[in-house]
Amino acid sequence: MGKEQKNVCAQHKGAERGQGACPVAKKCGGCQLQGIPYRKQLDQKHALVKQCVGDVRVLPPIGMTDPLHYRNKVHAAFGRDRKGNVICGVYESGTHRIVPVESCMIEDARADAIIATIRGLLKSFKIKTYDEDSGYGLLRHVMVRTAHATGEILVVLVLASPILPAKNNFVKALRAAHPEITSIVLNVNDRRTSMVLGERNILLYGKGYIEDELCGNRYRISPNSFYQVNAVQTAVLYKKAMEYAHLTGKETVIDAYCGIGTIGMTAAAHAKQVIGVELNPSAVKDAIANAKRNGCKNISFYNEDAGNYMRKLASVPARERVPVDVVFMDPPRRGSSETFLEAVTLLAPRRVVYISCDPHTLGRDLDYMRKHGYRIMECQPVDMFPYTDDIENVVLLEKTKTERKRTKNGLEIERTGKRNESERKSGTSKSGNRRHQEELRKARAAAGSRRPEASKPKSGKRTH
């Protein structure tokens, strides 16, 4: 049993008893496992993962020593009750009715206190809460992001208008109550939408973002950035992912669905070169900035669909490109598309490290990979979300020996090699016929298309 598993034996006393301490648990619906001892929660999640992935070795979940107040991103909706009193909290499951919440057992306690203070300031500053039905009012939501390692705190006021009455005095009053706040941003969401954040941010105090440290790297987190909500368990998850990757410093790695580059930059310290691919352009910009901030010179980022990128890269004859050794994939909850998985098998990396937040879609995707030449070696669940029914998993897949041999001696490689050899002997061509060379040139160009400026690999060569 590993050190992380042993930590489960020393759970927080209240969590181990599993007492339903939250009075709004049933209405909120956010903590589906409220009232269940933490050890039993882990057992239930372990059974679920085993059921979903089938005949695969599933290790016991790695739990938290203290599974409370772990969420570093807290969002509160604002409104009024039937008596006209200002309330804030979470939406009742499946509705847009606000369930008032004073404090939450899985949210950062500092964030809850800040939100309560903002609610108390609204009356004195004559700030009206937004009404979804009428479209009248100003304050819609408050989001608080906290950094685990640095302690920095970002407060985001989501308003229906860019104008906040007496904003300077409001900021002073909020900071007087909570001097720990390092940045305050006004986010404008003037659309009738269920989305929490709008696209425009106005700086009210500080630098407009916070920074946190993860696995030796420092990351900038702005209001719209994606960042794992449980920093403690994210470090555990990434450590296991690196262990499964077996990196020795000689590998070429692809980080698919790379986001702001956290997995890729963690891998960059142990690989020859890393390629991050992400469809969201703002995430790619953050990733490039984070790479520069951390001095990662052997990682490049591409603003493209990861499946399309890998398919184009696979179309280049294997003799003409550096092989990809490892692919990290961390898809959204819906899992990967069959098109993406097909692209992975075409590229044929020796190892795939699959990080999943949904055991059901994970099981479906593993079935596909198993049928297309990969062996599922091991699955390690990591409890990123205690008291909820969610469980993160990291899985190691290795290409079977038969598949390796087929890829190594594939018809395309064999045909290209024999043709070039015969043409060299006859003196007809030094590098193949013109048509073949033109197709190769196009494939190379396509594989590198839509590339934003990125940090240059240590080798100084771009082979992708």
**One-character DSSP codes across 241-290:** HHHHHT--S--EEEEET-TTSHHHHHHHTTSSEEEEEES-HHHHHHHHHH
Q: Report the relative pairing of strands 139-146 and 210-214 from DSSP bridges.
A: unpaired
Spatial CA neighbour of 246 closest among 326, 305, 188: 326
Three-state SS at 59: coil
Q: Return the amino acid letter for 143.
A: M
H/E element, 363: helix 359-371
- Residue 155 phi/psi, 5° resolution? -110, 125
Long-range pairs, 269-273, Cβ under 8 A, ≥24: 269/216, 270/242, 270/245, 271/247, 271/298, 271/326, 272/298, 272/457, 272/458, 272/459, 273/298, 273/299, 273/300, 273/457, 273/458, 273/459
Pairwise CA distance, residues 229 & 24, whole Å: 22
Pairwise CA distance, residues 464 & 462, whole Å: 6
Spatial CA neighbour of 303 closest among 323, 288, 314, 313: 288
Per-residue 3-state assignment (H helix, E strand, C coil) for 32-51: CCCCCCHHHHHHHHHHHHHH
Q: Please check whether residue 89 is in contact with residue 100, taking contact to mean a CB–CB distance below 8 angstroms.
A: yes
Three-state SS at 139: strand
List beta partners, residue 73: 145
Query: Is-catalytic flag, 52?
Result: no
Pairwise CA distance, residues 409 & 400, whole Å: 14
Pairwise CA distance, residues 217 & 444, whole Å: 32
Pairwise CA distance, residues 186 & 190, whole Å: 12
Token output for 316: 């280049």
Q: Please check whether residue 132 is in contact with residue 194, taking contact to mean a CB–CB distance below 8 angstroms.
A: no
Q: Which of the following is catalytic: 31, 296, 357, 379? A: 357
Spatial CA neighbour of 243 closest among 305, 184, 161, 326: 326
Q: Active-site residue numbers?
A: 357
